[in-house]
Amino acid sequence: MKKNDDFIPKILTFLCNWCSYAGADLAGTSRLKYPTSIIPIRVMCSSRVDPLFILKGYLNGADGILLTGCHPGDCHYQSGNYYTRRRFAALKKIFENLGLEKDRLSLSWISASEGQKYAQTTTDFTQKIKELGKNSVGTEIFL
């Protein structure tokens, strides 16, 4: 699909309370530029994001879904991000097996001190989703 400059994707972003959310906050307080297409959802730990939340978000019209958490080994709950990594890999396989666009999903580790990384990650992911175009599978129910 070709790039559409007028297209503003809806990107559902799950942010770990202890690292990624703080990184997003730092990006904001530092006045770093990042896309307005981000729809943030704050969760206590990335491991608390049920894969069904991601599938439901995609099927309900999200053009892209970004899951963020603490760096492996730095999880506030010790091993939460290891569970996240395994679930995310399984979810990508499920998307592939169902014939859904697995490139619309992304996982990134962002710490509280990485506001610049948060801004860059969301910008890069938004650009990728713009190149993919609108989610043709989902229906715009809640987004």
Cα–Cα distance, 76 to 141 (Å, whole number)? 34
Residues of the chain with pLDDT under 70: 1-4, 140-143
Q: What is residue 60's predicted lDDT score, i.e. its pLDDT?
A: 92
Tokens of 59: 């099927």
Contacts of 44 (CB under 8 A, 6+ apart): 16, 17, 18
Nearest to 80 by CA among 125, 22, 23, 18: 18
pLDDT tens-digit series, residues 69-93? 999 999 999 999 999 999 999 999 9
The residue assigned the tokens 């395994």 is 86
Domain boundaries, the chain: 11-132
Q: What is residue 141's predicted lDDT score, i.e. its pLDDT?
A: 61
**What pTM was estimated for this model as a whole?**
0.91
Which CATH number applies to 11-132? Answer: 3.40.50
